[in-house]
Amino acid sequence: MNDAIWAGTISVAGHENAELEAYLARPLGEEPRGGVVVIHHMPGYDEASKEIVRKFAAHGYAAVCPNLYSREGAGVSPDDQAAAARAKGGIPDEQLVGDVAGAAAHLNGLDHANGKIGVIGFCSGGRQTFLAACSLQIDAAVDCYGAFVVNQPPAESGMKVTSLLSKAPDLSSPLLGLFGADDSFPGPEEVAVLAAELEKLGKEHEFHTYPDAGHAFFAVDRPSYRPAAAVDGWKKIFDFYGRHLSA
């Protein structure tokens, strides 16, 4: 078995052909494999996001995380890019969809790609994963505690974010949702509304809400980390992608 991987910074063409910095990791083996687009959280394109990309490659997928804040300037540190993007109210949904489409196309253009694409996102990236899965043809989506899929954000937030519930009929793939019972964004009631809507629409989904876990329970570098939830969550993610991203 060859478990070696390659990982490093590349460029991908995003929305309206914008050049985006991106972090790619892929196995060096010759086996056909699915691709995973990783959508980073609101604090930006950070070390933790790159670690997640490498984790997927170590499990046999080609994975890429586009820096959604690339437009804030090359050579600008990711935390400054994130602060600048936040001050502008975040990134437009249309731009996000174009960026994910570009990242997915890049993965499908790699040697040994089997044509299957998964998307996963954390925090604001969880909402954006749902958006991408309702806007693009993908094969498996994983929403990790994304807020404002159902509820509108507070009016005073200034964020360019709206509820996505009306897009649910367009969900193109099975959806795995991983949530913390102690989270408020999204709170358990928001998760329940989304589950009921997907049930009503006959959309394949699998939601898990972990007790004693709040927002960002996967984040190993933050006090919010909850090992029991994160370990089981990763198992569920790889099981889910194993079923849906195989050739």
Partner 1 sequence: MCTYLTQKIELDGAAKGAAGWFTLSDGAVYVDHPYHATHEHTLNIDFTNPGEGPSARVAVELTEEAALALVEAIQKALAAAPPGLASGAHARAAS
Q: Give catalytic residue positions.
A: 123, 183, 215
The distance of closest approach from Cβ of residue 225 to partner 1 in the complex, given in angstroms and rounded to an integer, is: 10
Size, binding site for partner 1 by CB under 8 A = 36
Of the candidates 46, 51, 206, 232, which one interacts with partner 1 according to CB under 8 A? 46
Among 7, 159, 181, 192, binds partner 1 (CB under 8 A): 159
Which of 158-162's residues contact partners 24+ apart within 8 Å by CB, and which partners? 158/89, 159/89, 159/90, 160/89, 160/90, 160/91, 160/92, 160/93, 161/90, 161/93, 161/124, 161/127, 162/93
Structure-token match 């996505």, residue found = 164
Which pair of tokens denotes residue 47?
Answer: 């070390």
Using CB under 8 A as the binding rule, whether residue 65 contacts partner 1 is answered as no
Q: Using the rule CB under 8 A, is 144 a contact of partner 1?
A: no
- Residue 76 binding partner 1, by CB under 8 A: yes
Closest CA to 142 of 225, 34, 222: 34
* Among 82, 117, 194, 230, interactor with partner 1 by CB under 8 A: 82
CB neighbours of residue 188 within 10 Å? 14
Pair 120, 141: CB distance under 8 Å: yes
Binding site for partner 1 (CB under 8 A): 42-44, 46, 72-73, 76-77, 79-84, 86-87, 123-124, 147-148, 153-154, 156-159, 161, 183-185, 214-216, 222-224
